[in-house]
Amino acid sequence: MNPLANAPRWVKWPLGFVIVLATCATWFVAAGHALSWILFHGGGDPVSWHTWIDYALSYPGHPLVQPALELAGAIASLVILVPVIVALVRCKPPLHGAARFARIAEVRRAGLLTHRGDGIILGGYGRRFLTAGLADFPHVMLAAPTGSGKGVGVVIPNLLNWNHSVIVLDIKRENWTLTAGFRKRHGHETYLFDPASPDGRTHRWNPLAYVRDEPGTRIDDIQKIGSIIFPDTPGVDPLWSASCRTLFLGLALYVFETDDLPRTLGQIAREAYADTDDRLADIIMERYESGARLSAACEAALTDYANTATETRTSIRKTFTSRFELFLNPIVDAATSANDFDLEALRRKRISIYIGITPDNLARMAPLLNLFFQQVVDLNTRELPEHNPELKYQCLMLLDEFKSLGKLPLIVDAIAFLRGYGVRLLPIFQSPSQIREVYGEEAAKTFFQNHAIRISYTPADIVTATEISNEIGNTTVKSHSVSRPDLFSKGQRNRSDSMVSRALMLPQEVMALGVNEVLLFARGTRPIRGRKIRWYREKAFTSRILPPPTVPAHTPGGPEDR
């Protein structure tokens, strides 16, 4: 679009006058030079802008001068028209598309070649790093098949560069081993959370520690946790999830209102498994008679469950305990018995939390991780940084194997406004189809659109390659065709040229992308063809590798877990 198309009249009129004046002056100067050359072969008087006018007024109708004036005028007109015609031809958009990759000036103009250390490293471009700044590109996503180098190319470089808080899903513990020492030395509180660690070496997280003590907010906080643990499932009667949430509220309030019980999910699990037909009703009555009556909300929730028909109550209990079976494991119970780190402080201090659950435990720990990440978002979207100067750090959620976490509705629904709270996402998955499978077509579309930058490594399937090819777009190329006469005919061979459409990169060319190349789609600029980083080949990163900190061991059932 012409940049002056929407300019006000007071800009257009003076500019138009200047253009007309300059065009006229150019014509008269060119005509004067042409006339001087025609009449005197360049040897006459010095030429000025009014030479042509002087001769036209002094020698009207002269048999020698008049033809020279006309020829000089024609030459001057060509001098003006030829560049205009060439410009118009060049400005005409190609018929079938003009897709191309961004040039270095466009990459720089997009703000992706910054030297600042507060952005997300995306890849390389020449000898420099492509970096997404905090202000312009809040969320970044990476689609990379297994074994394509996402760890060495994105995860580890960012953990060795990002100087704000970070939460990273580290299923191989490789990130902890290579980067935690550097972050610790540079002032970060570093924690490793592995609730399935067989030797109990983990820092602890207790989701119930974030439940506030005020009666109203306590219920609100417990209900939020209950909604995450027992979400409504499409196609399933919401009665079951709603009943489980009510039971969870009742048991959680009972635990909170009983001084000698630990406020943990493990204790709620024990209460649920210990339930008999009359136990909850007996508890309500005993507390009433002892003068330590349970709150009205607690009594109502427990009574609602206790008064349900036996068969229905059994089904509710089975559904409830199926989500809490994990907390009967003493190792998991110990890992969720206390808080070694504060999720509410992620934007006040520089905190690095590594989720070190190994691949063999990932599936069964997925509900716990789901709760963890959704609680991070909930706790850090309650107060805007502009309302509290203590919230001076960003928090990057680096979510490798994003699909393994299951559906995270709180994160997906909040992604549009997380930027304002200083929370940034970097989900990593194998292909976009994984996200569609978990969230559905429309939710996945919204999820993708809210990532200002999308990184693609060489895809492993033709469907993803076709999507990438379509997004890159088509270009216009010249096609040559030759028609030859039949063997015994007297016709001549004919050649014709035509402009046709062609994908800038065909799907098979996308799949043949070099192992060291990366495609990057940034909002507001053309696709970028960059290089993949290998941290172990970059001195800027290899010099930062330090031994990791020691992780404390917690004995299941020890006094600190009670």
What percent of the chain lies above the pLDDT cut of 70? 90
User: Using 50, 70 and 90 to split pLDDT, how confident is the model at 542?
Assistant: very high
What percent of the chain lies above the pLDDT cut of 90? 59
Confidence at residue 42, expressed as pLDDT on a 0 to 100 scale: 67
Helix, strand and coil percent figures for the chain, each rounded to 5: 50, 15, 35
CA distance 394 to 386: 13
- The model carries a pTM of 0.80
pLDDT tens, residue by residue, 520-537: 999 989 999 999 999 999
CA distance 497 to 327: 72
Type of residue at 528? I
CA distance 462 to 507: 7
User: Using 50, 70 and 90 to split pLDDT, how confident is the model at 123?
Assistant: very high
pLDDT tens, residue by residue, 482-524: 666 655 555 566 666 667 778 889 999 999 998 899 999 999 8
pLDDT tens, residue by residue, 383-405: 999 999 999 999 999 999 899 88
Closest CA to 133 of 504, 541, 419: 419
CA distance 383 to 520: 33
Mean pLDDT of 252-273: 95
In SS3 terms, 34-59 reads as HHHHHHHCCCCCCCCCCHHHHHHHHC
CA distance 305 to 310: 10
368: CB partners within 8 A, 6+ apart: 195, 326, 332, 336
User: Using 50, 70 and 90 to split pLDDT, how confident is the model at 104?
Assistant: very high
C-alpha triplet 346, 350, 352: angle, nearest 5°: 80
The answer to whether 299 touches 284, Cβ cutoff 8 Å, is yes
What is the DSSP-derived secondary structure letter of residue 168? Answer: E
pLDDT at 281 over 70: yes
Mean pLDDT of 249-257: 96
Type of residue at 167? I
Tell me the CA distances in angstroms from 234 to 412, 439, 547, one per residue in order: 17, 11, 47
pLDDT tens, residue by residue, 126-158: 889 999 987 778 899 999 998 899 999 999 999
Mean pLDDT of 215-229: 93
The answer to whether 101 touches 530, Cβ cutoff 8 Å, is no
pLDDT tens, residue by residue, 327-371: 999 999 999 999 999 999 999 999 999 999 999 998 899 889 999
124 in helix, strand or coil?
strand
Mean pLDDT of the chain: 88
Query: Tokens 């435990």 map to which residue?
Result: 361
User: Using 50, 70 and 90 to split pLDDT, how confident is the model at 559?
Assistant: very low
Mean pLDDT of 420-431: 94
